[in-house]
Structure 1
Amino acid sequence: MKVAFISLGCAKNLVNTEQMMALCREAGYTVTGEPEGADVAVVNTCGFIDSAKSEAIDTILSIAPLKEQGRLGKLLVAGCLTQRYQDEILEELPEVDGILGTGSYTDIVPAIEAVLEGDTPTYFGDIDHTIEDGERLVSTPSYTAYLKIAEGCDNRCSYCVIPYLRGRYRSRPMESLLEEARGLAESGVRELMVIAQDITRYGTDLYGKRRLADLLRALCRMDFHWIRLHYLYPDEIDQELIDVIAEESKIVKYLDIPIQHLSDKILRAMNRRGNGALISDVISTLREDIPDLVLRTSIIVGFPGEGEEEFEELCRLLPGYCFQRAGVFTFSAEEGAPAAAMPDQVPEDVAKHRMELLVDLQSRVMDQWNEDRLGTVMEVLCEGFDGDMGCWVGRTYADSPDIDGHVYFTAAGQIPAGTFVNVRITGTSDGDLTGEIEE
Structure 2
Amino acid sequence: MEKYKVGMVSLGCDKNRVDSELILGTINKFYEITNDPKEAEIIIVNTCGFIESAKQESIDTILEMAEYKNKYKCKMLIATGCLTQRYGEELLELMPEIDILMGVNDYMKIHKLILDFIKGERKIFAANYSDDNINDGIRLLTTDKHTAYVRIAEGCDNYCTYCIIPKIRGKFRSRTKESILDEVRLLSEKGVKEIILIAQDLTYYGMDIYKENRLHELIRDISKVEGVEWIRLLYCYPEEITDELIEEIAVNDKVVKYLDLPIQHISNNILKKMARRTNKETIINIVNKLRDKVPGITLRTSLIVGFPGETEEDFKELCDFLKDYKLDNVGVFRYSKEEGTPAANMDNQIEENIKIERQNYLMLIQKNVVQELNKLKISKVYDTIIEGRKGKYFIGRSSEMAPEIDGTILVETTQNINNGDIVKIKIKEALEYDLVGEVYDEFSK
* TM-superposed deviation, 1:84: 1.2
- 2:202 is matched with 199
Amino acid at match of 1:384: G
Tell whether the 8 Å contact from 2:385 to 2:422 is kept in structure 1 after alignment: yes
* Residue in structure 2 matching 1:17, options 15, 20, 24: 20
Q: 1:240 to 1:299 in 2, by over 3 A?
A: same
How far, CA to CA, are the matches of 1:378 and 1:263 in structure 2?
A: 35
Amino acid at match of 1:420: I
The answer to whether the aligner puts 1:344 opposite 2:348 as a matched pair is yes
Tell whether the 8 Å contact from 2:26 to 2:137 is kept in structure 1 after alignment: no
TM-score normalised to structure 2 length: 0.96
* Residue in structure 1 matching 2:236, options 223, 232, 236: 232
Unaligned runs of 5+ in 2: none
How far, CA to CA, are the matches of 2:81 and 2:56 in structure 1?
A: 14
TM-score normalised to structure 1 length: 0.97
- 1:417 is matched with 419
How far, CA to CA, are the matches of 2:320 and 2:72 in structure 1?
A: 58
How far, CA to CA, are the matches of 2:326 and 2:285 in structure 1?
A: 14
Tell whether the 8 Å contact from 1:5 to 1:34 is kept in structure 2 after alignment: no
The answer to whether the aligner puts 1:120 opposite 2:123 as a matched pair is yes
- 1:358 is matched with 362
- 1:144 is matched with 147
Q: How does 1:167-206 map to 2 (within 5 A)?
A: 167-206=170-209
- 2:252 is matched with 248
* TM-superposed deviation, 1:321: 2.1
* Residue in structure 1 matching 2:266, options 262, 269, 273: 262
Amino acid at match of 1:236: E
* TM-superposed deviation, 1:317: 2.4
Q: How does 1:11-410 map to 2 (within 5 A)?
A: 11-26=14-29, 28-117=30-119, 118-222=121-225, 223-387=227-391, 390-410=392-412
Identity, in percent, stands at: 44
Q: Deviations over 1:240-299 (max 9, x none)?
A: 010001010111001000111111010000000010011111111111000110100011
How far, CA to CA, are the matches of 1:85 and 1:208 in structure 2?
A: 34
Tell whether the 8 Å contact from 1:149 to 1:194 is kept in structure 2 after alignment: yes
Tell whether the 8 Å contact from 2:26 to 2:108 is kept in structure 1 after alignment: yes
The CA RMSD measured in Å over matched residues stands at 1.1
* TM-superposed deviation, 1:70: 4.7
* TM-superposed deviation, 1:140: 1.1
- 1:433 is matched with 435
* TM-superposed deviation, 1:122: 0.8
How far, CA to CA, are the matches of 2:228 and 2:312 in structure 1?
A: 47
Unaligned runs of 5+ in 1: none
* TM-superposed deviation, 1:218: 0.2
Runs (4+) off by over 3 Å: none
* TM-superposed deviation, 1:7: 1.0
How far, CA to CA, are the matches of 1:233 and 1:208 in structure 2?
A: 18
* TM-superposed deviation, 1:124: 2.1
The answer to whether the aligner puts 1:3 opposite 2:12 as a matched pair is no
Could you tell which deviates more after superposition, 205-214 or 360-369?
Answer: 360-369
Q: What is the number of equivalent residue pairs in this alignment?
A: 436
